[in-house]
Amino acid sequence: METQRHEIGMIGLGVMGRNMLLNMADHGFPVAGYDKDSSKVEALRKESAGNDIHAAANIEDFIGLLRAPRAVMMLVPAGPPVDSVIGDLLPHLEKGDLIIDAGNSYFKDTNLRARNLAGKGIQFLGVGVSGGEEGARHGPSIMPGGPKEAYERVRPLLEAVAAKVNGEACVAYLGPGSAGHFVKTVHNGIEYALMQLLAETYDLMKRGLGLSDDELRDVYDAWNRGELNGYLVEITSRIFNKIDEKTGKRLIDEILDVGKQNGTGMWTSQSAMELQVPIPTIDLAVAMRDMSVLEKQRETAGAIFKRPIPPFTGDRKVFLDQLGHALYAAMIVAYAQGMAVLAAASDKYAYTLDLEAVARIWRGGCIIRAELLEDIRTAYRNQPGLPNLLLAPELSNKVRANQEDLRRVVCAAIEIGLPVPCFMTALGYLDGYRSAWLPANLIQAQRDYFGAHSYERVDVKGTFHTDWTKG
Ligand code: 6PG
């Protein structure tokens, strides 16, 4: 008898949903899946033969498979599809049932949905899941937010399927409301910055130094074996090795230079602006994807602003070492910017985030996992209220040791004329953040001059206005 015994149901049997279900079944959980697309239901049926998975082709049968009170997870594209699934589900659910949105939803949408569903007696968890297909199948990093009691219901399941680092599951209850989806959004913002920084190193080495794909593979591989160790550095090395089946050449050179996006990087920037937290490196990573899309304009502008790339005359080995150090410093700055957004969001939205837990669950399974996260975790463990990672000795020592190379690499890129906006903003952020004095007094004077916005003085408290045109 298959009815009403399955612990959780999955709606959306695309790559992520199907692999998460298989992962759950591997850990001994009886699970059921449903998708509107019958070919996906069929595919799951075939793939899950021998496992405790049941796939239903209509929603009534699917709901009938679930144990009450029901728990339904959905892994569908963010936006209207999430509301449409909730709309389809509601007539079949009862008070006390739980819906889990495990997609990349916008946190404000999650707040709205949680409020609406709470009014109907339905619990709602907004859960970030990172790690792509491989992670979903063999252990993702899981970022749950919502009512604590709802999390406790699915905690054993999430702990079982999550990635493990030194025996610790890469999942932790992050906070109420949209805490989980907010943390996942910022994870992706950091992901954008790390990816763009890596792309800028690629450009400097390819167009600046003239390195071949084999040489590029070896540089990233060597970096991955040192302090830069991390998933994105590792896959970058592998990418340069991949042969295109069609042409027999390296696949990387056959890929159009147009970067796409699904919105999470942009949401990180928008949220940071709203919270008034500076994250210029993440902002520029988003902007460079937007720039990459302007391929026709770039071609035209390239002809107008023609400037040949001068041959590299320095010591290649020395430059590559500097580049690795610069990348390390810039990556720390990118993590610092992302964590600063989380700290501000935690206060403003009452998420009560434990940033040590965030760093801990990002050490495995997710796209931004890297050796560095162990230091980030230690930094928050030693100083839970840390306002910025750059103030923690675990990280500041590393940035100090590499900041001159970051500066040299930015100078070299400027001389050569290659675009490295993420490196530039990482350095600009660092130089701004370490400036006890900034020229914002001039901004205040200008604001007061043209708009009578007033200013504060260094010598006495209060706000002052001057008629700047008099005298
Ligand atoms: C992850 C990824 C995942 C997805 C991104 C890609 O953590 O597993 O971040 O969520 O691949 O949505 O984002 P873009 O399409 O915006 O690059």
pLDDT tens by residue, 56-74 = 989 999 999 999 999 999 9
Give this prediction's pTM: 0.97
Same domain for 44 and 6: yes
CA of 200 to the centre of ligand 1 (A): 19
Same domain for 284 and 143: no
- Is 116 near ligand 1, meaning CB less than 6 Å away? no
HSE-CB for 110 with a 13 A CA cutoff: 30
| DSSP letter assigned to residue 207 | I
**pLDDT for 471:** 85
Mean model confidence pLDDT for the chain: 97
- Is 292 near ligand 1, meaning CB less than 6 Å away? no
- 298-336 confidence digits (pLDDT tens): 999 999 999 999 999 999 999 999 999 999 999 999 999
Same domain for 193 and 48: no
Q: How confident is the model at residue 52 (pLDDT cuts 50, 70, 90)?
A: confident
DSSP H or E stretch at residue 32: strand 31-34
Extended strands (E) in 75-193: 98-101, 123-130, 141-145, 164-165, 168-169
- Is 178 near ligand 1, meaning CB less than 6 Å away? no
Same domain for 376 and 271: yes
- 383-415 confidence digits (pLDDT tens): 999 999 999 999 999 999 999 999 999 999 999
* Percent of the chain surpassing pLDDT 90: 96
**pLDDT for 435:** 98
- Which residue among the candidates 47, 133, 148, 191 is catalytic per the annotation? 191
- Is 403 near ligand 1, meaning CB less than 6 Å away? no
Same domain for 296 and 206: yes
Query: Mean pLDDT throughout 116-141?
Result: 97
Query: Could you give the angle at which helices 280-293 and 316-348 cross, rounded to 10 degrees?
Result: 110
- 78-87 confidence digits (pLDDT tens): 999 999 999 9
Same domain for 457 and 392: no
**pLDDT for 104:** 97
Which region among 45-54, 278-287, 404-413 has the lowest average model confidence (pLDDT)?
Answer: 45-54
What CATH number is associated with residue 457? Answer: 1.20.5.320
| Ligand 1 atom closest to Cα of residue 132 | 8
CA of 159 to the centre of ligand 1 (A): 22
| DSSP letter assigned to residue 168 | E
**In angstroms, how far is CA 163 from the centroid of its own chain?**
17
- Is 378 near ligand 1, meaning CB less than 6 Å away? no
**pLDDT for 51:** 82
Q: How confident is the model at residue 48 (pLDDT cuts 50, 70, 90)?
A: confident
| Ligand 1 atom closest to Cα of residue 187 | 7
**Atom 1 of ligand 1, nearest CA residue:** 130
pLDDT over threshold 60, residue 123:
yes
Same domain for 446 and 426: no
**pLDDT for 47:** 87
Which amino acid is residue 173, in one-letter code?
Y
Single out the residue in 147, 177, 207 at which a domain terminates: 177
**pLDDT for 2:** 66
Same domain for 82 and 39: yes
Same domain for 46 and 32: yes
Q: How far apart are the first and last CA of the chain?
A: 93
What CATH number is associated with residue 133? Answer: 3.40.50.720
206 is catalytic: no
Single out the residue in 149, 177, 205 at which a domain terminates: 177
pLDDT over threshold 90, residue 223:
yes
Collect all residues with Cβ–Cβ distance below 8 Å to 354 and sequence separation of at least 6: 172, 174, 380, 384
Single out the residue in 162, 177, 192 at which a domain terminates: 177
DSSP H or E stretch at residue 445: helix 440-451
pLDDT over threshold 60, residue 1:
no
By residue range, what is the domain housing residue 160? 2-177
Same domain for 113 and 164: yes
SS3 track for 361-403: HCCCCCCCCECHHHHHHHHHHHCCCCCCHHHCHHHHHHHHHHH
Same domain for 116 and 211: no
- Is 229 near ligand 1, meaning CB less than 6 Å away? no
Pocket test for ligand 1, best of 15, 143, 264 (most atoms within 8 A of CB): 264
pLDDT over threshold 60, residue 346:
yes
How many separate domains does the chain show?
Answer: 3
What CATH number is associated with residue 254? Answer: 1.10.1040.10
Same domain for 366 and 468: no
Q: Report which of residues 47 and 268 the model is more confident about.
A: 268
108 is catalytic: no
